[in-house]
Amino acid sequence: MRLINRHPGRAARLFLGSLPFLILVVAYLVASAARLADNPGDKLLPALSSFAQAIETMALTPDRRTGAYLLWSDTWASLTRLWAGLGIATAITLVMGLAIGVLPVMRALLAPVVAFASMVPPLALLPILFIALGLGETSKIALIVIGVTPFLIRDLSLAAAALPREMIVKAETLSASTWLIALRVVLPQVMPRLLDSLRLQLGPAFLFLIAAEAISADSGLGYRIFLVRRYLSMDIIFPYVAWITLLAVAMDLGLGGLRRLMFPWWGLEGRR
Amino acid sequence: MSLRIPSVLVSLVALGALAATPLAAEPKSRFKVGWSIYVGWMPWGYAADTGIVDRWAEKYGIAIEVTQFNDYIESINQYTAGAYDAVTLTNMDGLSIPAAGGVDTTAVIVGDFSAGNDAVILKDSTSLAEIAGRNVNLVEFSVSHYLLARALDSVGLSERDVRVINTADPDMAAAFQTRDVTAMVTWNPIVSEIAAMPGANLVFDSSDIPGEIIDLMVANTAVLADNPDFGKALAGIWYETAALMVADTPEGAAARAAMGAASGTDQAGYEAQLAATRLFADPAEAVAFTLSPDLGTTMDHIRTFLFDKGLLGAGAPSADVIGIELPGGAVMGDPANVKFRFDATYMQLAADGAL
């Protein structure tokens, strides 16, 4: 049988899928044990027990100074910023993306400036944002909005423009107005695409969030990582990185599920 | 900045490889020294550029590679991870990072102490007590944080009376110009830049706590013990360069101009920073400072601050958890866990002209 036609069974798939994770964990444990044997106080590659202790301190013990549970207060602060940023970006995208996709006049007016704006590296704007909007929450949320919105708008307007011309003509022959066509024909068909591109933008959104928190904050996941970096607390940094990854994966799955729930007819994987 | 997290992971994997070859504590001939930009450490860069380093290394038959770091904390982390044999740092960071990380560290050269280079700055207020209730922007857990604690102490306030906002040092000057920032603690050259801004008032600075924020050249204790020539070379490099830079000669002026340019200012700007620095160009003065009982008092302040902030380790039962050896062998804290040492040997050799 050709290799291209050999499909692993269920058990083999599970094994193959977990193999890279296993290799990473074993490699870590070996390196960590070697360093700890050399210097029991080593902070670079802590033992698993140190992780457990750090997680206990951060997630289950109230902070001595503020009485807050740091992991949860950091998570809440970060997610508030992230959701605010993504929410604003989505709202702007719906209005502008639809306008650009549906109306040739708006396309002529806005498409070039959006294309231009999407090429500005958002992190390079950070110093300007901090001066213009202060060091508070506004500048952090603004960075996420600026970083994510142009991409979302371009994607949405491309999706709208790619709808079959016949569909629009058909709606027109049924005497639908421009407003009605945008709302009832175009919008339902681009919404699933918007949810999917939002999923793809989760990574960049977290990147912008952490970059902003690293510069000035008093809570947040990125803040904590860059704070404890000062004294090389890998026992806190690793669990935080894992936790951020987990949050991003959960949001990705959530948005995917939401799309399937709201638009079951859309795409090849949808229910028939 | 944002790229650091993946790069931290990548470097971890690379450092994991180091586990197989931990920094060998045995006689060797190649040494790596890291330094970062700060008024009291510029001589190291100048010495490397002008061949002073190579001359002293050659004299002792060793090779010394001097690397400039653009990120101070990264340089300390590299040293703590074992990639460097010696690094420039402050007494406080030496205790909280390498020593708390189990790397036995010795201060070879006490280069200077800050006498005005670190300052508490208030906007539109000239009284330190008016800091109460304000947001204070500073690099958390740095010497700025320590200075704030000492400043608050001096007017009967505590950290509960303010709200600390962690802010990255490259953004301090810009941050001070925004409306919501009204109090800041930072270091030079940022202090002099901010002091020139309208409404900025220096209400407390490191000259109010002289000798407490000390800039050191530290080396791995095991490496140093097996390679005393490395310590001698470091002392030779430092005192030759320091003597040159304080000299009132055209050569001295040229050295100061070069160090100023390398730190992003000019000769006048650099000399202004030097004025706020108590530089020990004379080894005898450095030895006297290191042997004075005040050093023990300072380190006690520092370790108490670090312990209060939980920086001596999560499970540390008291500030005594890490032993600090003072010159003469007296140990403050746990004598079974000495990880930070002050050693005047090499400075004394320089003072005796025995290098």
| Per-residue pLDDT tens over the stretch B15-39 | 444 444 445 457 889 999 999 989 9
Distance CA A169, CA A175 (A): 10
- Give this complex's ipTM: 0.73
Instruction: Give residues 299 to 338 of B whose Cβ lies within 8 Å of A.
Output: 310-311, 314-315
B136-189: pLDDT as tens digits: 999 999 999 999 999 999 999 998 999 999 998 888 988 898 888 999 999 988
CB B236 within 8 A of CB B350: yes
Instruction: Return the pLDDT at B6.
Output: 44
User: What would the two tokens of residue B341 be?
Assistant: 């040492």
Identity of the residue in B19, B80, B164 whose CB atom sits nearest the CB atom of A31 = B19
Phi-psi label, residue B163: left if phi above 0, alpha if psi -120 to 50, beta otherwise: beta
Q: How confident is the model at residue A132 (pLDDT cuts 50, 70, 90)?
A: confident
Q: What is the pLDDT of residue A268?
A: 67
pLDDT tens, per residue, chain B with 355 residues: 343 444 444 444 444 444 444 454 578 899 999 999 899 999 999 999 999 999 999 999 999 999 999 889 889 999 998 899 999 999 999 999 999 888 999 999 999 999 999 999 999 999 999 999 999 999 999 999 999 999 999 999 998 999 999 998 888 988 898 888 999 999 988 898 899 899 999 999 999 999 999 999 999 999 999 999 999 999 999 999 999 999 999 999 999 999 999 988 889 989 999 999 999 999 999 999 999 999 999 999 999 999 988 888 767 788 899 999 999 889 999 999 999 999 999 999 999 998 8
Report strand pairing: B86-90 vs B105-114.
Answer: unpaired
Query: Which residue, B173, B42, B187, B193, is CA-closest to B117?
Result: B187
C-alpha span between A261 and A74 (Å, rounded): 31
Q: By CA distance, what is B322's nearest residue in A?
A: A41
CB contact under 8 A, A39 and B339: no
Residue A238 has pLDDT above 90, yes or no: yes
User: What's the topology of domain B118-208?
Assistant: D-Maltodextrin-Binding Protein; domain 2 (3.40.190)
Q: E strands, A123-217, where?
A: 216-217
CB atoms within 10 A of CB B281: 18
Phi, psi of B49 (to 5 degrees): -70, -30
Where in chain A are the domains?
A: 80-212
Residue with tokens 């992971």: B9
| Average pLDDT of chain B to the nearest whole number | 89
Strand intervals (E) in chain B: 30-36, 63-69, 86-90, 105-114, 118-123, 135-138, 163-167, 183-187, 200-205, 214-220, 277-279, 323-325, 331-332, 338-342
Tokens of B34: 């890291």
What are the boundaries of each domain within chain B? Answer: 30-115+213-351, 118-208
Average pLDDT value for chain A: 90
Distance, C-alpha A105 to centroid of its chain: 32
Rg (CA), chain A: 24
Structure tokens at A12: 């083999």
Looking at residue A1, its pLDDT comes to 82
Q: Report, as an integer, the average pLDDT of A218-244.
A: 89
Question: Can you give the pLDDT at residue B310?
Answer: 81
List Cβ neighbours of B321 (8 Å cut-off, separation of 6 or more).
B307, B312, B313, B333, B334, B337
What's the CA gap between A91 and A96, in Å, rounded?
9
Name the token pair of B122: 């208030």
Pick B20's closest partner by Cβ from A34, A123, A225: A34
Contact B339, B322 (CB under 8 A): yes
Tokens of B346: 């090499």
Contact B178 A135 (CB under 8 A): yes
Task: Report the greatest alpha carbon distance in chain A.
Answer: 80
Cis before B189? omega within 30: yes
B139 contact residues in A (CB cutoff 8 A): 230
Q: How far apart are the first and last CA of chain A?
A: 33
* A216–B166 CB contact, under 8 Å: yes
Handedness of CA B102, B103, B106, B112 (dihedral sign): negative
- Beta carbons within 8 Å of B255's beta carbon, 6+ residues apart: B46, B241, B244, B245
Burial (CB < 10 A; 0-12, 13-18, 19+), residue B10, is exposed
Contact B165 A211 (CB under 8 A): no
CATH architecture of B30-115+213-351: 3-Layer(aba) Sandwich (3.40)
Burial B167-185 (b: 16+ CB within 10 A, else e): bebebbbbbbebeebbbbb
- For testing contact with chain A, the best of B166, B176, B177, B184 (most A CBs within 10 A): B166
Fold annotation for A80-212: MetI-like fold (1.10.3720)
What's the pLDDT score for residue A106? 93
C-beta of residue B165 within 8 angstroms of C-beta of residue A217? yes
Q: CA–CA separation, B239 vs B308, rounded Å?
A: 36
What is the distance between the alpha carbons of residues A235 and A246, in angstroms, rounded to a whole number?
Answer: 17
- Residue A43 tokens read as 């902070």
Residue A272 has pLDDT above 50, yes or no: no
The reply to whether residue B171 touches residue A43, judged by beta carbons under 8 angstroms, is no
Q: What whole-number distance in Å separates Cα of residue B344 and Cα of residue B350?
A: 10
Measured distance CA(B72)–CA(B74) in Å, rounded: 5
CB atoms within 10 A of CB A217: 25
Rounded-to-integer distance, Cα A88 and Cα A100, Å: 18
Buried b (16+ CB within 10 A) or exposed e, A164-191: eeeebeebeeeebeeeebbeebbbebbb
- Using the structure block, give the residue that is written with the tokens 């003597």: B243
Residue B42 in tokens: 């510029």
Determine the pLDDT at residue B346.
Answer: 95
Tokens 């002293």 locate to B56
pLDDT exceeds 80 at position A183: yes
Residues 6+ apart with CB under 8 A from B216: B88, B89, B90, B91, B94, B107, B108, B109, B110, B111
Exposed/middle/buried for B63, CB within 10 Å: 0-12, 13-18, 19+?
Answer: middle
Per-residue pLDDT of A112-127, as tens digits, reads: 999 999 999 998 888 8
- For B101, the closest of A30, A42, A215 (CB atoms) is A42
Task: Show the tokens assigned to A208.
Answer: 């912008």
User: Do B30-115+213-351 and B118-208 share a fold?
Assistant: yes
**For the residues A71-100, what does the mean pLDDT come to?**
95
Long-range pairs of B329-332 with CB within 8 A, sequence gap ≥ 24: B330/B296, B332/B296, B332/B299, B332/B300, B332/B303
Q: Do the chains contact at A44 and B81, CB–CB below 8 Å?
A: yes
Phi first, then psi: what are they for B201, rounded to 5°? -130, 125
Judge whether B179 is closer than 8 Å to chain A, CB to CB: yes
